[in-house]
Amino acid sequence: MVRAGLTTERLTRAGAELADEVGFDQVTVSALARQFDVKVASLYSHVKSSHDLKTRIALLALDELADRGAAALAGRAGKDALTAFANVYRDYAREHPGRYAAAQLRLDPEAAAASAGGRHSQMTRAILRGYDLVEPDQTHAVRMLGSVFHGYVSLEMSGGFSHSAPDSQESWSRVLDALDSLLRNWPAP
């Protein structure tokens, strides 16, 4: 018998909230069952396994990030677009650390193809069109931006910048200035 009120979407959202509270690695079907005060078996009609639950949370996080990115990019170009897009990732990681971690989950090819991951790449490429980059430089730049955004956010979230001055916001601004300068003066192969 399916417990009233439990749906795949509700469990996914609850799992995402749990990830933000206790960490993405701690999210399991068992932990979710405890939260809803139900038997684990009653959740298996909605999610197949803890991996399925984590995949659903990752897809939710990618969707949320893509929606925020699209809203932030509307009407922007150049450095303004680059900064807005970068801030979406940083702000999302601060607001939803578990979901941000979920967005890094390696998805199987089918789930990846159905995810908002492609939207993220398209938005990054849209920003790069303002810098007149063509292939293969555009792909190199997409990878660079993703690496810098994720690297900075991960170090900041783990406290890596909290031990010294200047404030990490000042460094973040300088990093974005440097990225803008690099993209405007992209080196020839």
Which residues, 6+ apart, have CB-to-CB distance to 55 below 8 Å? 105, 107, 108, 111
Enumerate residues 6+ apart whose C-beta is below 8 A from 76: 84
**Residue bearing tokens 């995810």:** 115
Instruction: Encode burial over 1-21: b for 16+ CB neighbours within 10 A, e otherwise.
Output: eeeeebeeeebbebbbbbbbe
Residue 43 is predicted with a pLDDT of 85
The predicted pLDDT at position 144 comes to: 96
Which pLDDT score, from 0 to 100, does residue 6 have? 87
Q: What is the mean pLDDT of residues 3-14?
A: 85
Sign (positive or negative) of CA dihedral 181, 79, 138, 135: negative
Q: Can you say whether the dihedral through the CA atoms of 34, 36, 42, 48 is positive or negative? A: negative
DSSP string spanning 74-98? Answer: TT--HHHHHHHHHHHHHHHHHH-HH
Distance CA 97, CA 88 (A): 13
Residue 84 has pLDDT above 50, yes or no: yes
Query: pLDDT tens-digit profile of 105-133?
Result: 999 999 999 899 999 999 999 999 999 99
Cβ atoms of 91 and 47 closer than 8 Å: no
Residues whose CB is less than 8 angstroms from the CB of residue 32 and which lie 6 or more positions away in sequence, other chains included: 11, 14, 15, 18, 43, 53
pLDDT at 3 over 70: no
Is the pLDDT at 2 greater than 50? The verdict is: no
